[in-house]
Amino acid sequence: MQSDNPLKYTPLYNFHVSLGAKMVPFAGWEMPVQYPLGMLKEHLHCRAAAGLFDVSHMGQLVLEGENILTQIETIMPGDFLDMSPGQMKYSFLLNKTGGVIDDLMVTRSMGEDNQVYIVVNASGREMDLAHIQKHLPNIKVTLLNRALLALQGPKAADVLAHFCTAPQRLSFMTVDKFQIPGIGECFISRSGYTGEDGFEISVPNDTAEKFARELLKYEEVQPIGLGARDSLRLEAGLCLYGHDLDEKTSPVEAALVWALGKRRRAEGGFLGSEKIQKQLAMGSIARQRVGIRPDGRALAREQTIVQDEHANPIGIITSGGFGPSVGGPICMGYVDIDHAKIDTQVFLLVRGKPILAYVVPLPFVPHRYVKKG
């Protein structure tokens, strides 16, 4: 259902319009879905060189309080106590039944022992804020009013090196502050959601467009919209909240056990831990997120029914489409645990016709993260 609330605009709205972007509503924001280059070429350009994304609709939160790492371990399942200053981890806000309220990035601040920086999804900004404040009433939560850019692809480091030393100093999943001349203080992480090497850059609002235009002066860089952003993350086997993750799905069902700290799996002590520990100990999940490759060219979109050879429903597609780098249709979804093994034959009900498909490993394309700066 479309909200009656007016759409919000990122600091780069006029920048997108000036480049001829097609703007669409997304999570309450007016966002570029594609530029004149087109989704397919945008996708392939990011894989080959560098793509520039506006992700300013994401929520940038600062949490401050005594023993902040211990406190956030009560509402998230990550092992945060062993984090070094500037280290980032992928984690979740969970409900009491182990369902995912949101997936997010958590960073331990460089200079403040009692401060963490969290980036949350656009669709969950207000809900996440309320959840944190409810369960951690002694924590001060600040929503930063800053633009957020993502520079992704194998040439991203070369381009960013013209502006600062982040490519030399940062390894994968680390963050630091950098002064960029004419732009100001930027918080830069070596991270992203495309499967490529890249950076997310928190920039002052008043210089965000200037910085974006400076980046586009390099021929390696093209602006990338939401369409290619979605196909890039799907090829990388990465979940999209509200599609592959929701409050009825646990990280165990989502095949994201790697994001649960080993100590936390044993000790528990976070919201939903009883349910998750039971799932881990008993192997009691009924379904699992898997990758699926249709046999042929037919595309299986979200909500496509997955069947067994007897036409019994065994699951559903949660993300699907054409993978430009793969050269064919790809999808992710949840299937009964008995059908979750690699190479299992399944059928996708596309326009009323069962299409042969196979369960395959994720990701569909190899991750190319750079572990060292």
CA count, 13 A, side-chain hemisphere, 363 = 20
Q: Could you tell me the pLDDT band of residue 124, with boundaries at 50, 70 and 90?
A: confident
Q: Give the structural domain span for 44.
A: 8-55+146-235
Total domains in the fold of the chain: 3
Structural domain includes residue 26: yes
Please check whether residues 265 and 193 belong to one and the same domain: no
Structural domain includes residue 245: no
Please check whether residues 20 and 42 belong to one and the same domain: yes
Return the HEC string of 26-88. ECCEEEEEECCCCHHHHHHHHHHCEEEEECCCCEEEEEECCCHHHHHCCCCCCCCCCCCCCEE
- DSSP string for 186-217: EEEES--SSSSSEEEEEE-HHHHHHHHHHHHT
Please check whether residues 76 and 17 belong to one and the same domain: no
Q: pLDDT for 13-26, tens place per residue?
A: 999 999 999 999 99
Structural domain includes residue 2: no
What is the C-alpha to C-alpha distance for residues 70 and 293, in angstroms, rounded to an integer?
42
Q: Is the pLDDT of residue 373 over 80?
A: no
The CATH number assigned to the domain holding 103 equals 3.30.70.1400
CA–CA distance from 52 to each of 153, 194, 215, 228, 367 (Å)?
9, 12, 8, 11, 18
Please check whether residues 72 and 216 belong to one and the same domain: no
The CATH number assigned to the domain holding 182 equals 3.30.1360.120
Return the pLDDT at 5.
79
**Residue keyed to tokens 């399944």:** 346
Return the pLDDT at 2.
47
By CB neighbour count within 10 A (0-12 exposed, 13-18 middle, 19+ buried), where does 137 fall?
A: exposed
Please check whether residues 132 and 63 belong to one and the same domain: yes
Q: pLDDT for 269-281, tens place per residue?
A: 999 999 999 999 9
Q: Is the pLDDT of residue 111 over 80?
A: no
